[in-house]
Amino acid sequence: MKTIYILPLVAALLALAGLPVAGAEAPKLPVPTLEQRVGDLESYMNNAARVTDGKAESKVGGGGPGHSAWMMTSAALVLFMTLPGLALFYGGLVRRKNILSLMAQCLALAGVVSLLWWACGYSLTFGKGNGWLGGFQHAFLQGVGSDPNTDYGQWVPHSLFMVYQLMFAIITPALTIGAIAERMKFKAIMLFSVFWMFVVYFPAAHWVWGADGWMNGLANDAAKIKAIDFAGGIVVHMTSGWSALALCIVLGKRLGYGREPMQPHSMALCMVGTGMLWAGWYGFNAGSAVAADGVAVNAFVTTTLSAAAGCFTWPAIEYCVRGTPSVLGFCSGAVAGLATITPASGFVTPGVAVLIGIVAGAATWFACNVIKAKFKYDDSLDTFGVHAVGGTIGTILAGVFATTAANPNLGADRIKAFVGSTLWLEQLKAGALVLVWSVVATVILAKLVSALCDGLRVSEEVETIGLDLVEHGEEGYHG
Amino acid sequence: MKKIEAIIKPFKLEDVKEALKDIGITGMTVTEVKGFGRQKGHTEIYRGSEYTVDFLPKTKIEVAVADSLVKQAVELIVKAARTGKIGDGKVFVSSLEDAYRIRTDERGDAAV
């Protein structure tokens, strides 16, 4: 038990030790000329690198106000997707005896992942190290201050980029818990998620998004696989979705699955959560431009159109197949459209977004209705069916349809030869590797956590009574 | 003295109540209940999962009436609650030993 108290102390000391280093003396730069000063302003307007960069002292200190304002808003929007968007979306879909367990898990992940991110998660993901993992140079946020880290954003403070990316790190493990809802021990979920962040999320996010990541085709000249992932098709939806499938199979079905009624206890809450997810997704996708620029606006538009197309397609299929378009169909289709456009949102044109949304709605409907019924796994809330299927399709389609017309960064020498030709193959390679990594890691971690927690599942009695009362000592509803 | 128990479709409650009021029946007990008869339940589909809901919501009305009113009351209930579609419900009549009005000690027909 003592180590529990010692760890934060050590951490605090380390953080304090880091403070003087962060303020290390900078070399004195010459006073900027008028040309350079105007150049900096133009760069701010165009979200380009500073003209004074290293050559003269910039009179525009830190980040730029407009870009920073949008990124703070985006960070809050992405957190809003988890708290309470996803908590309500998932909470409404379980039985009433388990609503609080989903909410507790979302809140607990927000807390724990934030601390991991502060301690070393951010550094391991976005710090420079090798192609596989970042270093510890930003542990306890050393050197993460108001000056932009130009590897990731020219006009956004490093600390703001850090906190924005934290919100992605929170929602990713939170997506996974949908597949294992209503039957896994709380402590096993938390332990699994902590291990999973270190083994899957931090590395995979570094591969695809890290400045020196080996799959970062957009920013790393030395990338072995020239993949692109605008807002997390691979990093968020594929890692969480495929891990979810592996974990729900390892865990087994809920008691009475397929025999007892397990209807969503509140489609109203589920719909409220869906609306929050959709609205929050603008921070997720348009925010991933790390600027309030044209790429961000294009992502905003593509996100809207894909969500709308998905929201139309899924219930349209239901209407054709069984005559009643359901609210859960609208919700699922919208989320599928959003998840699928995510990797492509900043790379494709609006017309393509409509196509992607339609494909998303149809493919995820098929996965949740046909594939799930055929293979009989209990992916309780369809994390695999929506996020893994959507994220994977979106990742490949991003490779097919990415164009410099939507994102000038695709014109860079390191990637332009792939755009419009074999980029989809790079996407396929990156996606397949992350898929295999996620599944294998999840199975191994699940076995490990099972050994540490004396099994992953709650007892049959607890599962019957409900997780809320036994695991959290509360009930979502009385009477 | 008889007790009439009527299981009806919930939206017919207002019609039945008004009909009984017209013949001077001034009190009743109403409960929300669930059950099934020939109508059986219905199916609900959530994404790929289909669930059969066996018990449907119904309304149960309990009225105690003097023997002289029983036939008329039952006829009125049946008329007011009927839609002609499956699931209209049932009426049960059973004999009642006695009745007491708590406030006044009245007994029998005077108490209902």
B53 vs A326: CB contact, 8 Å cut-off? no
Nearest-CA distance A369 → chain B (Å):
4
Instruction: Name the one residue in this structure whose structure tokens are 């906190």.
Output: A163
Q: Domain check: are A283 and A401 in the same one? A: yes
Interchain CB distance below 8 Å, B48 and A369: yes
| A34 and A94 co-located in one domain | no
The B residues from 10 to 39 touching A (CB cutoff 8 Å) are none
- Note whether A295 and A357 are same-domain residues: yes
Mean pLDDT (chain B, rounded):
92
Q: How far is Cα A229 from Cα A421, in angstroms, rounded to an integer?
A: 17
pLDDT at A24 over 60: no
Nearest alpha-carbon partner for A338 in A367, A310, A319:
A310
Q: Which of A415, A383, A379 is nearest to A399 (CA)?
A: A415
CA distance A79 to A64: 22
pLDDT score recorded for residue A22: 46
Percentage helix, strand, coil for chain B under 3-state DSSP, each rounded to 5: 30, 40, 35
A442 and A329 in a single domain? The answer is: yes
**pLDDT given for residue A23 in this prediction:** 46
A63 within a domain of the structure (yes/no): no
Partner-chain contact A326 B46, CB within 8 Å: yes
Q: Is residue A153 included in any domain, yes or no?
A: yes
Residue A126 and residue A12 share a domain: no
Whether A32 and A57 have beta carbons less than 8 Å apart is answered as yes
In a domain? residue A60? no
CB A367 within 8 A of CB A391: no
Indicate whether A18 pLDDT > 70: no
Decide if A362 is inside a domain. yes
Quote the ipTM score.
Answer: 0.70
| Mean pLDDT of chain A, nearest integer | 94
Residue A383, CA distances (Å) to A66, B77, B88, B102 in order: 35, 51, 42, 60
Contact list, B45 vs chain A (CB under 8 Å): 322, 326
- Number of domains, chain B: 1
pLDDT at position A21 is 47
Mean pLDDT confidence for A279-288:
98
Query: Residues A159-207: pLDDT tens digits?
Result: 999 999 999 999 999 999 999 999 999 999 999 999 999 999 999 999 9
- How do beta strands B2-8 and B89-95 pair? antiparallel
pLDDT at A65 over 70: yes
Q: With bands split at pLDDT 50, 70 and 90, how would you rate the model's confidence at A299?
A: very high
Residue A312: CB atoms within 10 A of its CB come to 19
Give chain A positions within 8 Å (CB) of B44: 263
State which residues form the domain around B102.
2-111
Chain A residues touching B51 at Cβ < 8 A = 261-263
Region of A326 (left: φ > 0; alpha: ψ -120 to 50; beta: rest) is: beta
Question: Does A53 reside within a domain?
Answer: no
Most confident of A25-34, A144-153, B46-55: A144-153
pLDDT for the residue A459: 97
Contacts of A357 (CB under 8 A, 6+ apart): A305, A306, A307, A308, A309, A310, A311, A312, A313, A337, A340, A341
Q: Which of A66, A64, A61, A172 is nearest to A110 (CA)?
A: A172
CA distances from A218 to A2, A26, A150, A179, A352 (A): 46, 30, 14, 32, 20
Cβ–Cβ under 8 Å, residues A443 and A66: no
- For residues A373 and A332, membership in a common domain is answered with yes
Cβ distance of A328 and B48 shorter than 8 Å: no
Per-residue pLDDT of A216-230, as tens digits, reads 999 999 999 999 999
| Mean pLDDT, range A266-283, rounded to an integer | 98
- Mean pLDDT, residues A129-135: 97
Residue A58 within any structural domain of the chain: no
For residues A140 and A119, what is the distance between their CA atoms, to the nearest angstrom? 5
Q: Is the pLDDT of residue A1 over 50?
A: no
Contacts of A7 (CB under 8 A, 6+ apart): none
Confidence (pLDDT) at B52: 82
**How many beta carbons lie within 10 A of that of residue A136, not counting itself?**
14
Give me the domain span that covers residue A259.
Answer: 71-472
The total of structural domains in chain A comes to 2
| Cβ-based contacts of A369 with chain B (< 8 Å) | 47-48
CATH number for the domain that contains residue B13? 3.30.70.120
Average pLDDT over residues A262-266: 95
Q: What is the model's pLDDT at position A277?
A: 98
Would you place residue A259 in the very low, low, confident or very high pLDDT band (cuts 50, 70, 90)?
confident
In angstroms, the CA A45 to CA A67 distance is: 9
Query: How confident is the model over A394-411, as pLDDT tens digits?
Result: 999 999 999 999 999 999
| Residue B47 touches partner A, C-beta closer than 8 Å | yes
pLDDT at residue A27 is higher than 90: no
Same domain, A21 and A79: no
For residues A273 and A50, is the Cβ–Cβ distance under 8 A?
no
Residues A9 and A111 in one domain: no
Query: Predicted confidence band at B60 (pLDDT cuts at 50, 70, 90)?
Result: very high
Tokens 């009439």 found at: B4
Percent of chain A topping pLDDT 70: 94
Whichever domain contains A427, its CATH number is 1.10.3430.10
Contact B48 A326 (CB under 8 A): no
Judged against a pLDDT cut of 90, whether residue A96 lies above it is answered with yes
Q: Which residues of B touch A332 (CB under 8 A)?
A: 47
DSSP per-residue codes, A198-236: IIIIHHHHHHHHSTT-TTBTTT-TT-SS-B--SSSIIII
